[in-house]
Amino acid sequence: MPKLWNETIDAHRAAVRAAVLDAAADLVAEHGLASVTMSRIAKESGIGRATLYKYFPDVESILVAWHERQIGHHLEHLVQVRDQSGDAGERLEAVLRAFALITHGMGHHHDSGLAASLHSGPRAVRAQEQLHGLIEELLADGARQGSVRGDIAPGELASYCLHALAAAGDLPSRAAVDRLVAVTLAGVHAAATPAAASAPGTDSAAAHRGHRPALGSGRHE
């Protein structure tokens, strides 16, 4: 088969897949995870059900693909925010605020059982590990520069930040989110305890990584 023909087919498949996931994103944002059905996806995307089933065997496979796309977009956004900021303190504040705003925009109408299933997938778990690692690295940079407290391991502080900012999903306004970010940052700023004081070991930090707020249940950016 000619290369040009292959490229045309691949482009068509990508377009169909994108249309399906966009339709899923719209339905989740407007009505929640439980609203996503094959018939509604077909209607929203304008793709026939027979064609839809050629790409996705069931609703669960659509939701998994949608969720993976969402967390990928969110991680990319956080990395961009980090790279566009200044010193260690500014990078930390910018990324934490961006994460809080993502959480705030997720909405509160998702079915908890479906959401838990999506967040427990292997790719979602890897994404959460990447998110934790990103925050931990920023905190470690801040500790080295003296803007972040040095008496607690960066891994433990990262868990604190992610859990604290998960509350942004329940807040009513952007102003409330900003206040939550300020309070969270106050908890990690350099404390009275000298940075040279002994900090918990990496094993202790790793123990705090078991339960983390999930990333990526909202609409893509």
* Amino acid occupying residue 121: G
Rounded Cα gap, residues 156 and 76, in angstroms: 23
For the chain, give every residue range classified as CATH 1.10.10.60: 1-57
Architecture label for domain 1-57: Orthogonal Bundle (1.10)
Inter-CA distances, 191 with 89, 91, 151, 182, 201, Å: 15, 19, 8, 15, 19
CB 213 within 8 A of CB 165: yes
Rounded Cα gap, residues 127 and 13, in angstroms: 26
List, for residues 196-206, the tens digit of each pLDDT value. Answer: 444 444 444 44
Q: What is the mean pLDDT of the chain?
A: 83
Rounded Cα gap, residues 45 and 16, in angstroms: 9
* The pLDDT of residue 192 is above 50: no
More confidently predicted of 41 and 127: 41
* The pLDDT of residue 214 is above 90: no
List, for residues 137-156, the tens digit of each pLDDT value. Answer: 999 999 999 999 999 999 99
Q: What is the mean pLDDT of residues 177-195?
A: 83
DSSP for 135-190? Answer: HHHHHHHHHHHTSB-SSS-HHHHHHHHHHHHGGGGG-SSHHHHHHHHHHHHHHHB-
List, for residues 38-76, the tens digit of each pLDDT value. Answer: 999 999 999 999 999 999 999 999 998 998 888 889 999
Is the CATH code 1.10.357.10 the one for domain 59-207?
yes
Q: What is the mean pLDDT of residues 8-30?
A: 90
What was the pLDDT predicted at 201?
A: 47
Rounded Cα gap, residues 87 and 63, in angstroms: 38
For the chain, give every residue range classified as CATH 1.10.357.10: 59-207
Residues pairing with 148 in the sheet:
189
Q: What is the mean pLDDT of residues 156-162?
A: 97
